[in-house]
Structure 1
């Protein structure tokens, strides 16, 4: 965090300062990161005691103090051993402090902010961009894990210091206005929209609401900013009409400024030709061959978005390609290749799932399997689809059959309709099996997998199949 006195923090979050018995005063300087989980506290940090649905952060103040917290942000006075700032709402205060810290960082340094949103691919793209900028020597802060909401976003922003040159922030939402709130805290110079799909459509209330929500990323960008938009997504294309920023298109469309052609995917990753329009007067084009080691053709879009951002930071096309080709793993649980014993390959892609990413993963499974070998899709439910849930699970079941997946293993009652749809397609005789839980599915797979099989494990995080994928990977390591 940008160093601030207790008085400055209290003013920023509209709180009442209560000095502690540790000798702190209004002029005491705080520069540590902020946490909402007492187990994560380190010496000198700030603990925000949030009240949640499951528990109350105020109950964990003693643990935070014992772990070295220097300041408490609370909604009631709880412990006078260290300084407290009492506020109306700790979550609102967290956002307010992040806003002030980012404002000071931008005013006093060379901080540039990248905001990334989309129905799919945020975390993968964020990781690619952060690795690219760090490799190029930029002092970079990026969202940890998938910290992209009203809590995770500010916690990431509060890791920015006076030396930070790049903040790469995922900005997600479960309702309209949430992305706008995050962009107000940390106004991007580069705003990225990857896709508009059915992920979280149930929470948003429909695809049009999803569109409006995702477009908040670019609506308020100034004309000095850049909107990096997916030319292959018709809904994202419409966002060009809603922004004053300069638009940089990425995708496989011929009009894209950063585009991929000659895309070929196999079990080792994806090969494509990267072409970028560079310069302004006159514009020139340069092309390079890329061997991107992340499995799945659908991740090419994430690589292109990352390339556009890297070029926007002044990297050469060769620097961009070198970074993409050095990628080890886009993110745990995302098309993560495991196993290997007896030629059995396990693709663990169960960190999250939407209809688009589920469809893309199944296509990848069908594409990368060895000739003549079996393909096994272990699928769980796709969450947060609302009224679309039934028809989308039906569609995935039908797709698995039509792609000639050798065996479909469906796990969990919430995904049962997928299993029934596959059976009703009429093409199979027992190739689709259903299990109520992951343990039963694991036992079945251990008994039935054959040498040379390629296994995809895919579901939303709530279905809990990522651990199943990890177990299979260990079993066949």
Structure 2
């Protein structure tokens, strides 16, 4: 979005040093990915963004948002008290210039994939802006809004919940007019304490909707379904199979690479849908995306066509056959108990697999319940006949688990793989277990 430096100064209450008519096109906090013409925000976190202002200017930044003087900088500077707060304010300004077709998505599992699928469908009708990867916090949300093109017709904003009130804060900036809540599960328990507290935090999204909005709720999750009482917006439910929902998938089947085929049943008509993404759980994400898009006015035929070619962000159920002939399921972006159990079920569902092995890293931020939840995942794997190799994750420690200290040891322990073998790689982001998948795909 094109904004002037005067716009930034007005929105943030900052002092402008330089030409007020200077234009920025979007904002960046990273000089490595800054597009020429964008503005640079000098955030102060583990590293001080002010140290990178010269590099940002060299990379083509046309303006800088900073919290201390920047003498000698060759572009205009808006100086504010706090750049993080200022970024939120600029996000709010950008939102005021977007049409009231803004979708917020939250949930313990599936929000990024649902965001990707919904954005693909909305693009069949409007220029659509959407969060990159998992940019779902107080930095990512305003960057998404400011990064929207001037002719944007629809915006999809992913919203994570790190503590009570966090989603409400993000809604105050993005002001969503539609919402999808995918699930409430045992994620981030270290911060919330209980799954009911997680539900309360996720429900802040539907509370923020206007009466003219629409809340798309997962009817299969009782805590999500109960959020209908927390909004004045229209409620549209979705689910799989025989669940009592207005939009649902029937006749769900998976092909040999676990790509779902289903019959979509909706108030707008029924249709056969084939997905390009992998995993039975993606069927629910696709149905959620379809429900929201249909409610916003996208034609059913366009929904079906868009879903057939839609992809999701990397490291999420990427199923690839290695040169060795083994199938590698790279789901290493993140992990919590619900998504890890789904990964195990997907691994078990692969046809003609001989040896099935799960390489697991830790599931982070589970608090006092962590060891129990890790053991339950390990027991589920054992019940499915799946061997588990844990990497720097002692919490899985039940009999029969192979525990190793690092990625190289895990790859070595897997040994020679070939036709009929299948390996699932999954762990929280801190584990970076995609390195295992990369090594296996090179064999």
Q: Deviations over 1:426-446 (max 9, x none)?
A: xx5xxx32210001111222x
Could you say which residue in structure 2 is the equivalent of 1:281?
none
- After the TM superposition, which residues 32-431 of structure 1 pair with which residues of structure 2 at under 5 Å, given as runs? 32-52=25-45, 54-80=46-72, 81-103=74-96, 105-106=97-98, 110-134=99-123, 136-252=124-240, 253-268=242-257, 269-278=259-268, 286-327=269-310, 329-370=311-352, 373-405=354-386, 407-412=387-392, 415-418=393-396, 420-421=397-398, 423=399
Report the Cα offset of residue 341 of structure 1.
Answer: 3.4
2: distance between equivalents of 1:382 and 1:265?
27
Does the aligned pair in 1 maintain the 2:318–2:331 contact within 8 Å? yes
Does the aligned pair in 2 maintain the 1:369–1:454 contact within 8 Å? no
1:459 equivalent to 2:407? Answer: no
With structure 2 as the length reference, what TM-score do the two structures score?
0.95
2: distance between equivalents of 1:38 and 1:126?
26
2: distance between equivalents of 1:137 and 1:275?
21
Report the Cα offset of residue 111 of structure 1.
Answer: 4.9
Does the aligned pair in 1 maintain the 2:362–2:395 contact within 8 Å? no
Structure 1 unaligned blocks of 5 or more: 279-285
1: distance between equivalents of 2:322 and 2:251?
29
Report the Cα offset of residue 342 of structure 1.
Answer: 4.5
1:408 alignment partner, SS class: strand
Does the aligned pair in 2 maintain the 1:258–1:275 contact within 8 Å? yes
Larger Rg: 1
Aligned residues: 440
Further displaced range: 459-468 or 315-324: 315-324
2: distance between equivalents of 1:417 and 1:9?
48
Could you say which residue in structure 1 is the equivalent of 2:437?
469
Q: Deviations over 1:253-311 (max 9, x none)?
A: 53211101222234321222210112xxxxxxx32222223222112110111111221
Q: Deviations over 1:77-126 (max 9, x none)?
A: 023422111111100000001101211x13xxx45111111111111111
Q: Deviations over 1:327-350 (max 9, x none)?
A: 3x4221111011243531111001
Report the Cα offset of residue 2 of structure 1.
Answer: 4.0
2: distance between equivalents of 1:273 and 1:42?
42
**Aligned alpha-carbon RMSD (Å):** 1.6
Report the Cα offset of residue 313 of structure 1.
Answer: 2.8
Report the Cα offset of residue 37 of structure 1.
Answer: 1.2
Does the aligned pair in 1 maintain the 2:22–2:62 contact within 8 Å? no
Does the aligned pair in 1 maintain the 2:323–2:442 contact within 8 Å? no
Structure 2 unaligned blocks of 5 or more: none
Mark the CA change 1:243 to 1:111 in structure 2 (over 3 Å): closer, same or farther: closer
Mark the CA change 1:184 to 1:131 in structure 2 (over 3 Å): closer, same or farther: same
1: distance between equivalents of 2:322 and 2:94?
47
1: distance between equivalents of 2:63 and 2:193?
40
Q: Please identify runs of 4+ aligned residues in structure 1 that moved more than 6 A.
A: none
2: distance between equivalents of 1:43 and 1:2?
13
Could you say which residue in structure 2 is the equivalent of 1:283?
none
Mark the CA change 1:331 to 1:43 in structure 2 (over 3 Å): closer, same or farther: closer
